[in-house]
Structure 1
Amino acid sequence: MTRAAYAALVTSSAARTTQDLTADLPLPALEDLYRDLHRHPELSGREHRTAGVLAGRLRAAGYETAEGVGGPGGPGVVGMLRNGDGPTVLLRADMDALPVTEETGLPYASETPGVMHACGHDLHITWLTGAADALAAGRDAWSGTLLVVGQPAEETGEGAAAMVRDGLYERFPRPDVLLAQHAAPGPAGLYAHSPGLIMSAATDVDIVVHGVGGHGSRPEATVDPVVTAAYIVTRLQSVVSREIAARESAVLTVGRIEAGTRHNIIPSEARISLNLRTQSAEVRERMLAAIRRIAAGECAAAGCPREPTVTLGGSFPVTVNDMDTDRRVAAVHGEVFGAGTVLDFGPVMGSEDFPFLAEGGLPYAYWFVTSTPAEVWDAAAATAGGDLMDQLAAVPSNHSPHFAPDLATVGPGVRTLVSGALEMFTPTTR
């Protein structure tokens, strides 16, 4: 598309300025940055190399930059660019990878055994870096303070809260608005916004079943926690289907069950790890009560020597977009990328710790950038029989060992952040 044709599509100041500031993005260099980050993934809380790369780029662009935000040894990065009077806008990207063995076959696949950027956070940092460069180079076009945050440990739900506890908003200005985005499966070139609820809460639950161990040849002398754990797992499948109203959205996943050391030993304990996804505090409490009741009931029925131990682990909040902020950002994205590129597919069951950065009710907008390569999306259509949801299920999703975003999304992902930030720096006119 020519610049003249593009200019005809846009009407807002933010969209026009985005056109100017991103017309000459250094895409080969940004793609090289992405490949480098993808080759060198780092697990939650250990993102030191990634943080160093981001911090170096921010310093080179003229940002006041701090590393180690999030506590001693923490890899959080913050860059600040003061540019006159105006609002403070925060752009955030997460940095951590996952304990997944990559199976993409890419020439730039992970060089760290058992660790992979299977959720797109390497792409997020690339987008953030490109946006930070473009906004710094185009500071004549906006006024205010820009905060750029490289956040560690999103996957464990610990990074955002740790940065806030470490004085993020004492060391840097408290933002007036926060913006973030996430790579998602779907045909590259779409931008998913939901004013209001967009992502669910998540809660980890651990159950320990206490039995009586013994020899495998004499089960009558034991209380087998493996059998009891199996009954608990089976009964838990009825919580969502029989105790949660059909109008509510909830998911209960048994992610791990562990017990025993050898074939002929009945262990004394079995451990079950659960993950809950909910969209309201009431449903969460109802599910937790059901889990405790089922675990206690099955242990009592089996004659366990004591009640099970039920422990709540990590927790993610619901992600609820400020409706006005999200509508403004969605509108400018529609102008930047054209008709039909912005959609609202409603809240999803995934979870984020980004809202912890918005402590005290700060307004924010969070959206998705679809990133499935065209050839992968088209191949999935052949097996989906024309059903869009089947097609979506057939392409690699986040956390898959085959997840490989399209490099064609590098430029658009920079423009989404740039245009969103410029819209927030612009006095409301919509």
Structure 2
Amino acid sequence: MDSKRLRDVYEDLHRHPELSFQEHRTAGVAADWLREHAYGVVDGLGVTGVAGILQRGDGPAVWLRADMDALPVGEETGLPYASGVDGVSHACGHDMHVTWLMGAAAELAAAEDWRGTVVAVFQPAEELAKGAQAMVDDGLAERVPRPEIVLGQHVAPLPAGMIGLTPGPMWAASDSLRVTIHGRGGHGSRPETTVDPVVIAAATVLRLQTIVSREVSTTETAVVTVGAIQAGAKHNVIPDSATLLLNVRTYDPKVRDRVLNAITRIVRGEAAAGGAPRDPEIVIEESAPTLTNDVAAAERTRRALEPVAGPFGVVNPGQLPSSEDVQVLATAAGSPITFWLVGGADPTPFRGATTVEQFIEVAGRIPSNHSPLYHPIPEPTIAAGVTALVSAAREWLGDRAR
């Protein structure tokens, strides 16, 4: 694979970030690349999703997935190829994911020593946790061969080339909720004539903090975050409503149900206690399931990754609170999934680290995904990710010699 050309592709994608379900240019770049390398292309899946199909006789099918969307985050890296779109950037690194999959697709197309089917899946709207489901709803599993395995990887603030793979639950389920508390507005000088939703919202925020501390066992994991409170527009006006934006992270579906039920109970209870004129509205706006690597598949994939992992090798970072919707693709296909991290950071700050815990500690001190300062170093990150994806795919594809 021409490394300079792939580097140019990466810088081009980085300069032209596109938000969720708006990835028209990115999808076009991916589709043109696939056609150039003899893939059959199905595009427009879930609005902007693309699937490339390359078949080499009978054998297993493998889905390789990359997400394409950017974030509404202004870039502050100062890179010569920084985002040219105000307030939008690839702060999560999905441009790297697209580059990896394009490179892997080209390498597999150039090789003649495997059999089966490679399906390159370029997915929209991961940041909304809606893109995978959109592709499924648009018939992805019926329009391409069903896979024996779904494979994917995510760039991370670990030393470039390091691979992190956790068997079993790896990334948390995520639920983002919008809670609207209704009151009765009026003049700030006459609160007795109103039902103040700001006060109800404040009491609700405090009470929500007791869910994890009092309703979740110390042997279980959950996070409840109130990320925003929106109410009112003037000092002396009590508004008619207040809105809370919440995010919940869990691993166990039973814990998830318990936490979501507790949120509903508390929000309704506080609204009733505050005299709200009507019930609050609780809407789950975004939801991604727990990303659970099939244990046997993860072990098989790990063996394929170890020879190409570079000096830092393959490590087990354990369960992480990040979230992903790639599990939706595997569930829809009825197939196991293996998903891993690929380090993309300058190795210098990690000098002296020898344990997984130390590497993760250092990673917490440098710009990470979703930061306006975050960016992977292109090399050796591009080459490392392409090699990892190709090696994993080859492990699951058939061998011409057999």
| Interval containing the TM-score (normalised by the shorter chain) | over 0.9
- Partner in structure 2 of residue 343 of structure 1: 315
CA distance in 1, matches of 2:276, 2:185: 11
Give how far 1:315 is off: 1.1
- Partner in structure 2 of residue 124 of structure 1: 97
CA RMSD in angstroms, aligned pairs only: 1.7
CA deviation vs aligned residue, 1:128-153 (integer Å, no higher than 9, x gap):
01000000011x11011111111101
- Which amino acid letter does the alignment assign opposite residue 24 of structure 2? H
Q: 2:192 aligns with which of 220, 223, 234?
A: 220
- Partner in structure 2 of residue 104 of structure 1: 77
Give how far 1:396 is off: 1.1
- Partner in structure 1 of residue 231 of structure 2: 259
CA distance in 1, matches of 2:58, 2:20: 36
CA distance in 1, matches of 2:348, 2:5: 24
CA deviation vs aligned residue, 1:25-80 (integer Å, no higher than 9, x gap):
3222111111110100000000000000011111101111121112xxx1111111
CA distance in 2, matches of 1:396, 1:41: 19
CA deviation vs aligned residue, 1:221-245 (integer Å, no higher than 9, x gap):
2111112111111221121122101
After superposition, the Cα gap between the structure-2 partners of 1:41 and 1:51, relative to the gap in structure 1 and judged at 3 Å, is: same
- Partner in structure 1 of residue 50 of structure 2: 77
Q: 1:64 aligns with which of 34, 37, 40?
A: 40
The answer (yes or no) to whether the contact 2:56–2:117 under 8 Å persists in 1 is yes
- Which amino acid letter does the alignment assign opposite residue 397 of structure 1? S
CA distance in 1, matches of 2:329, 2:50: 14
Is the counterpart of residue 237 in structure 1 residue 209 in structure 2? yes
The answer (yes or no) to whether the contact 2:309–2:388 under 8 Å persists in 1 is no
Equivalent residue runs for 1:344-359 within 5 Å: 344-358=316-330, 359=332
SS in 2 for 1:143: strand
- Partner in structure 1 of residue 387 of structure 2: 415
Percent sequence identity is: 50
- Partner in structure 1 of residue 9 of structure 2: 33
CA distance in 2, matches of 1:81, 1:65: 9
Q: 1:51 aligns with which of 14, 27, 31?
A: 27
- Partner in structure 1 of residue 261 of structure 2: 289
Is the counterpart of residue 181 in structure 1 residue 157 in structure 2? no
CA distance in 1, matches of 2:372, 2:350: 17
After superposition, the Cα gap between the structure-2 partners of 1:352 and 1:33, relative to the gap in structure 1 and judged at 3 Å, is: same
CA distance in 2, matches of 1:243, 1:283: 9
SS in 2 for 1:403: coil
- Which amino acid letter does the alignment assign opposite residue 62 of structure 1? A
The answer (yes or no) to whether the contact 1:95–1:151 under 8 Å persists in 2 is yes
CA distance in 1, matches of 2:29, 2:253: 39
CA distance in 2, matches of 1:340, 1:40: 32
Give how far 1:297 is off: 2.2
After superposition, the Cα gap between the structure-2 partners of 1:99 and 1:388, relative to the gap in structure 1 and judged at 3 Å, is: same
SS in 2 for 1:258: strand
CA distance in 1, matches of 2:310, 2:317: 18
SS in 2 for 1:186: strand
Number of aligned residue pairs: 394
- Partner in structure 1 of residue 162 of structure 2: 190
SS in 2 for 1:234: helix
The answer (yes or no) to whether the contact 1:40–1:112 under 8 Å persists in 2 is yes
SS in 2 for 1:107: coil
Given the two structures, how large is their TM-score scaled by the length of structure 1?
0.88
Given the two structures, how large is their TM-score scaled by the length of structure 2?
0.94
SS in 2 for 1:394: coil
Give how far 1:389 is off: 4.6
After superposition, the Cα gap between the structure-2 partners of 1:211 and 1:250, relative to the gap in structure 1 and judged at 3 Å, is: same
The answer (yes or no) to whether the contact 2:146–2:333 under 8 Å persists in 1 is no
After superposition, the Cα gap between the structure-2 partners of 1:193 and 1:389, relative to the gap in structure 1 and judged at 3 Å, is: closer
CA distance in 1, matches of 2:155, 2:174: 19
CA deviation vs aligned residue, 1:184-208 (integer Å, no higher than 9, x gap):
1122221011111111111122211
Structure 2 unaligned segments of length 5 or more: list them: none
Give how far 1:307 is off: 2.6
Greater displacement, 48-57 / 391-400: 391-400
The answer (yes or no) to whether the contact 1:257–1:270 under 8 Å persists in 2 is yes
SS in 1 for 2:371: coil
The answer (yes or no) to whether the contact 1:64–1:79 under 8 Å persists in 2 is yes
Is the counterpart of residue 331 in structure 1 residue 303 in structure 2? yes
The answer (yes or no) to whether the contact 1:134–1:418 under 8 Å persists in 2 is yes
CA deviation vs aligned residue, 1:3-39 (integer Å, no higher than 9, x gap):
xxxxxxxxxxxxxxxxxxxxxx322211111111010
Give how far 1:390 is off: 4.0
- Which amino acid letter does the alignment assign opposite residue 343 of structure 2? T
The answer (yes or no) to whether the contact 1:62–1:81 under 8 Å persists in 2 is yes
- Which amino acid letter does the alignment assign opposite residue 26 of structure 1? D
- Which amino acid letter does the alignment assign opposite residue 372 of structure 1? A
SS in 2 for 1:144: strand
- Which amino acid letter does the alignment assign opposite residue 375 of structure 2? A
- Partner in structure 1 of residue 288 of structure 2: 316
